[in-house]
Amino acid sequence: MTSDIIRSPALAEFRGRLAGDFVLPGDPSYDESRAIFNGMIDRHPAIIARCANPNDVILAIRAARDLGLEIAVRSGGHGVAGRAVTEGGLVIDLRRMDTVTVDPAARTANVGGGAPMSRLDRATQPYNLATTGGRVSTTGVGGFTLGGGSGWIERKFGLACDNLLAVEVVTADGEVVRASDDENADLFWALHGGGGNFGVATSFTFRLHPLPAMTIAMLLWRPEAGPEVVRAYRDFMETAPDEVGGGVFYITGPPEEFVPEHLVGRLVCAVIVTYTGGEQEARGVLEPLCRLGHDGEMLAELPYADLQCMLDDPPGYRNYWSAEHLDAFPDNAVDAFCDLAGHMIVPSPSQQVLLPMGGAVGRGPSGYPIPWRQAEWVVHPLGLWEKPADDVQARRWASAVRTDLKPWASGAVYLNFIGDEGQERVVAGLGRENYTRLAEVKARYDPGNVFRLNHNIKPAVPPQRGAP
C-alpha cells in the first residue's frame, strides 16, 4: 500500500506543488515527525505533509482524497487520544505555520494554526499583553482554542475561545473561509468548543488584555494534611477575586530548592495560586492559605510567558486523562478526592488536579457550545507514567476519580481534558441541543466527515424527499 502511494502520480503532483515538504516512511526524520506527546500512541502514517501555508493545506486535503487516505491534523500533538496522527493515512502537520503577529495598539494577535502556546505568549509579552493560554507551553494554540481553551488566567479574561475575533479555515472541499461574528457566523459559533470538526484552522485572531505583572505561589503539605487544606482552599476560592487562578494538585514532590527533603519524590498536596498582579498584592490575597502551616513554599513575580512553561512535562510519557465537572464540592466530596490520591502512579509526573472555575468563565457567553462553563469545579486525573506494566493501574485510578466524584458532577465535560470515552461523552462536552446544531453546521462544511479524527460530530443527515 505505501509503495503504491509513493509511486502514484497524485503524490508526484503533490510534491511538485507543495511549498513545504513531506515525510514518508523510511525517511530519516519519519519517526521523530510522527511522534506526539502521548507515548502510548505509535501510529505510522503513509504521508506527513509539513505545510507552509494555507495553499499547502488545500493541496494536502486534495491529495489525501485522491489517494483515499484518512486525514489527521496536527498542531501541537497534545491531544491525549492521539488523533493528531493516523495509521496509514495523511497527517496535515501545521507546525511550520507558527507565525505570530501582534498589533499592540489594537490589542490583537494573529496566530498561525501550528503555533505552540509558547510562541503566542512570547510574542505578546514585550507589550505586557496576553490572552488565556494552556497551562503547558508546548500545547498547540489551535486544538486548545477550538476545544474551548481553559488556562491559568481564565477567571480574569475568560476562555481562549471567548477571546477569538476570527478564524481562517480550509474546509473539506478545499475552500478557504473566514469565520467571525460578521462572516460565516454559524461556523464561528461552532468553532467555540466544536474542535477540528469543520476544517483545518490555519490562523486565529485573538483579543489581548493588559497583563503587566503575574505572580505564582506554590504551597506544599504532606498528603495527610490534604482534607484540611482542600477544604480551606475551597472556602478561600468562594470569595477570591477574579485575579486568582490555580488549583489543588496531588503531585510527586520535585527535587527543587523550595521542596523540603522529606517531600522530594513523595506524594504531596500542593496548592498553586496564580494572580494577575504583582507580588505584594498576591501576598495579601494568599494570607488565609499561608496560615495553614505549610511545609514548603515558592512565591515569585514573573512574566506570564515564564509562568506558562513552569509545569511543562517532557513528551514521551504514557498518558491517560479524564475529568468531571462539579456543581458542588461539599466535605464528603473533598474526602473522596483526597482518598483517591493514594492510588496515583507515584513517583511520576502524574497529577490529580482540582481546578476552580467561576469568574469570567461563568459569566462568559452562554450561547456557545460549552455547557461546562457554569460548573464550580473540575476534577482532572492527569496520568503520566513510564512503564507499560502500569497502564491498567493508571486507567483504574482515572476511572475511580470520575466514578467517586460523579455524585456531584454536572454531567458536562471539557473535551480537551479527556481522551476517547465514547460518543455520549462527546455530546456531554457540547450539550445535546448544541450537538444537534453542530451536526447541521458539520453537514454544511464537511458532509463526508473527512475531519473525523477528533471528538467527532457526525454530519446531520438531510431529510429524505417526501418525508413529513
pLDDT at 441 over 70: yes
Percentages of the chain per state (helix, strand, coil), in multiples of 5: 35, 25, 40
Q: Are residues 224 and 347 in the same domain?
A: yes
pLDDT tens figures, 61-84: 999 999 999 999 999 999 999 999
Contact 462, 445 (CB under 8 A): no
pLDDT tens figures, 97-127: 999 999 999 999 999 999 999 999 999 999 9
Q: Which domain holds residue 409?
A: 214-417
Q: How many CB atoms lie within 10 A of CB 209?
A: 18
Q: Determine the Cα–Cα distance for residues 343 and 359; give it in Å rounded to an integer.
A: 32
Residue closest to 213 by CA, chosen among 136, 143, 121, 279: 279
Rg (CA), the chain: 22
Q: What interhelical angle do 423-430 and 432-445 show, nearest 10?
A: 100
Q: Are residues 206 and 218 in the same domain?
A: no
Q: Are residues 133 and 232 in the same domain?
A: no
Residue 369 lies in a domain: yes
Residue 459 lies in a domain: no
Q: Are residues 218 and 194 in the same domain?
A: no
Q: Are residues 198 and 287 in the same domain?
A: no
The pLDDT of 324-350, averaged and rounded, is 95
Q: Determine the Cα–Cα distance for residues 300 and 283; give it in Å rounded to an integer.
A: 10
Last residue of a domain, one of 210, 231, 255: 210
pLDDT computed for residue 313 by the predictor: 82
The pLDDT of 182-190, averaged and rounded, is 98
Residue closest to 395 by CA, chosen among 382, 404, 386, 406: 382
Contact 299, 274 (CB under 8 A): no
Q: How many CB atoms lie within 10 A of CB 4?
A: 10
Q: Are residues 37 and 83 in the same domain?
A: yes
Residue 260 lies in a domain: yes
What is the percent of the chain with per-residue pLDDT over 90, rounded to a whole number?
A: 93
**CATH number for position 151:** 3.30.465.10
DSSP string, 309-327: TTTPPPTTSEEEE--EEES
Last residue of a domain, one of 399, 417, 435: 417
Residue closest to 345 by CA, chosen among 325, 314, 320: 320
Residue 34 lies in a domain: yes
Could you list the beta-strand ranges (E) of 197-317. 200-207, 209-210, 214-221, 244-252, 267-275, 296-302
Q: Are residues 297 and 225 in the same domain?
A: yes
Residue 451 lies in a domain: no
pLDDT tens figures, 444-468: 999 999 999 999 999 998 655 544 4
Q: How many structural domains are present in the chain? A: 3
Q: Are residues 239 and 388 in the same domain?
A: yes
Residue 346 lies in a domain: yes
pLDDT computed for residue 8 by the predictor: 79
The pLDDT of 289-296, averaged and rounded, is 94
Last residue of a domain, one of 93, 108, 140: 93
Q: Grid coordinates standing for 169?
A: 479555515
**CATH number for position 15:** 3.30.43.10
pLDDT computed for residue 464 by the predictor: 52
Cα dist from 23 to 47, 250, 352, whole Å: 6, 40, 38
What average pLDDT does the chain have?
A: 95
Residue closest to 88 by CA, chosen among 134, 49, 43, 37: 43
Weakest-pLDDT range from 206-220, 337-351, 366-380, 453-467:
453-467
pLDDT bucket at 346, cuts 50 / 70 / 90? confident
Contact 420, 320 (CB under 8 A): no
Q: Grid coordinates standing for 45?
A: 502514517
Contact 453, 70 (CB under 8 A): yes
Q: Determine the Cα–Cα distance for residues 201 and 238; give it in Å rounded to an integer.
A: 37
Contact 445, 429 (CB under 8 A): no
What is the percent of the chain with per-residue pLDDT over 70, rounded to a whole number?
A: 98
Q: Are residues 17 and 63 in the same domain?
A: yes
pLDDT computed for residue 467 by the predictor: 47
Residue 450 lies in a domain: no
Contact 401, 393 (CB under 8 A): no
Residue 409 DSSP one-character state = B
Q: Are residues 305 and 159 in the same domain?
A: no
Select the more confidently predicted residue: 10 or 341.
341
pLDDT bucket at 7, cuts 50 / 70 / 90? confident
Contact 417, 323 (CB under 8 A): yes
**CATH number for position 373:** 3.40.462.20
Residue 445 lies in a domain: no
Residue closest to 309 by CA, chosen among 135, 140, 152: 135
Q: Are residues 158 and 225 in the same domain?
A: no
Contact 112, 94 (CB under 8 A): yes
pLDDT computed for residue 89 by the predictor: 97
pLDDT bucket at 2, cuts 50 / 70 / 90? low
Q: Are residues 386 and 300 in the same domain?
A: yes
pLDDT tens figures, 9-29: 878 888 889 999 999 999 999
Residue 264 DSSP one-character state = B
Could you give the 3-state DSSP secondary structure of residue 215?
Answer: strand
